[in-house]
Amino acid sequence: MESAGAPVLEIHDLTVRYGARLATWSVGLEVRAGEVVTLVGESGAGKSSVGRAVVRLLPEPGRVDRGVIRFRGRDLLALRQGEMRDLRGAEIALIPQDPLSALNPAFRIGVQATDALRVHRGLPRPAAQDAMRELLGRMGIPRSAEILRCYPHELSGGMRQRVLIAIGFSCAPALVIADEPTTALDVTTQAQILRLLAELQAERGVATLFVSHDLGVVAHLAHRVGVMYAGCLVELAPTRALFGTPAHPYTRRLLAEVPRMEGDGPAGEPAAPDATMPALTELPRACPFRERCPERMRVCDEAMPPFSPLAPDHFVACHLYRGGQAAR
């Protein structure tokens, strides 16, 4: 078990390309044991590419152009394919966005749900079935034995997502990558799934990298939030600080778009600010947000702002701030 506060996942200077297009550039962050770090941003910001790069499952023609990804001190990008397969499912779990794509329609849930336990933990089929029934039951799934006999299309979207979460946590991983796992669900089911994820994460002390476009989700789940725009981190802060004193103009604009709802559930999907995310093919020489920024200055057209500390654990890439002070 990791010592308190130790980084389970370390990402340094990560640059991902899809052909000529830059998906991410110069991304750096850490996720510690027992911590949830969420990446947020509009579609095309690069947040899913960060998560997929960690598990080395970038869709073609995606590739890591440069950077370092370490899991428990091991350089994941230097591992052979077989070594990486041994880690996936056992120590690093991916919970994908679309359960219908992740689950094979030709096989019953029981076959797919117990595969990781049989491969990575060496359990015989009956023992793996028993373990999965118990886990599904703890996740609020009634008649779990019947569920294991079903095919994916016979389950609701929320039920399929619970199955994927159970598969992800079944081998007690140290790191979970959750790639927008509640996007296709209604608000009530989203809230149930998020409570379930939070309970499992807290109970098992798992390091979690959670990808979302929904700041309402972030408010109820994350310990720290990284805001991405055009492939880079523009702000990284503890959740309370980000919601209480957002620094970057893009963060403030995203927060202004979050619909408010009664109760404790997620706040719903924000409307995206009206503009198109710039498509980059090379590292920008000036702030990529400048065309949309209401506080644009001359320096924004001339240089990239450094990713600098504004307060303890609060970093921002914006020329409005120099030396931790607002340059207004």
* pLDDT one-digit tens code per residue, 126-175: 999 999 998 888 877 888 889 999 999 999 888 898 899 889 999 999 99
Percentage of the chain exceeding pLDDT 90: 66
The CA distance from 146 to 163, in Å, is: 13
Alpha carbon distance 272, 275 (integer Å): 8
Q: Are 155 and 33 in contact (CB under 8 A)?
A: no
Please tell me the least confidently modeled range out of 124-128, 182-186, 306-310.
182-186
**Length of the chain counted residue by residue:** 328
Q: Where are the domains of the chain?
A: 7-91+174-326, 99-170
CA 148/CA 73 separation, integer angstroms: 37
Question: Reduced to 3 states, what is the DSSP secondary structure of residue 278?
Answer: coil
Residue 327: CA count within 13 A, CB half-sphere? 16
Taking CA atoms, 30 is separated from 36, 149, 171, 225, in Å, by 10, 40, 23, 11
Alpha-carbon torsion 184, 189, 191, 196, what sign? negative
According to the model, what pLDDT value does residue 275 have? 55
pLDDT value, residue 127? 94
Q: Both ends of the chain: CA-CA distance in Å?
A: 46
* Helix ranges restricted to H, 55-124: 81-87, 99-102, 109-113, 115-120
* Band of pLDDT at residue 183, cut at 50, 70 and 90: confident
- The fourth-level CATH superfamily of domain 7-91+174-326 is P-loop containing nucleotide triphosphate hydrolases (3.40.50.300)
- Is 226 a residue whose pLDDT tops 80? yes
Confidence of residue 15 (pLDDT cuts 50, 70, 90): very high
